[in-house]
Amino acid sequence: MLVPNESSGRVHLCYLELLRDLRAAGQYSRGSAGLGTLYRGLCHLLESNSKDAGGFFILLQVWAWERLPYIAPGRVGDRPPRQGAALMGRWDDKFHSPDLATHKVGHYRHSLDMQKPDEVIWQPYKDSLIELMPPFCSAGRNIWRAKVPLINFNIVEMHQPERVMRQFGYRQLPPEPSRAPDRSHGMEMKKQSHNWTDEHRVM
């Protein structure tokens, strides 16, 4: 459902409308929507006049902790998450840690500048770890490397797994140029906005 905001002229999306039928809500691809929104937020964050950004940034934080242990608040190792929790549950006690270098940009810049090749965990999601997780975490594993558009209302971002093949245990080749959709990238959901879901629908 689209809810106009008269003061800004923008249209806000009412995600609560998607919960009208709870049986259907369980079939939504929420992970791909969240990932596409994060990609869009990161892209806008790089603009010179950017003042804020949207997206599931806690996902980016955990992504970095899993691969760059020297910036993580204590390496969790292969500790499984709490019973029934997703992989992010391994870090639930760390989000409240007083040892986090919060708001210390210099700390992270220095750590990244001094990074060595052997300090990166290229394949954090080993089969032994995935087997310890709830079934919903590995559901659809056969399409993890699919090259498809990630669509969330007005947001369309391409899933480009060929750029991160090492995390799947494959050899990483030089990636091809980005396949970001030029027409939809950066557009906002206004009254006459294009319906990207219909355009990218698989027939």
Q: pLDDT per residue over 157-178, tens digit each?
A: 889 999 889 888 888 888 888 7
> For the chain, what are the domain ranges?
30-182
Which tens digit of pLDDT belongs to each residue from 56-75? 888 898 898 889 888 887 76
- Its pTM stands at 0.74
Q: What angle do CA 177, 42, 113 make, to 5 degrees?
A: 80
Neighbours of 200 (CB within 10 A): 14
Nearest Cα residue to 195 out of 183, 203, 180: 183
CA quadruple 63, 94, 92, 138: dihedral positive or negative? positive
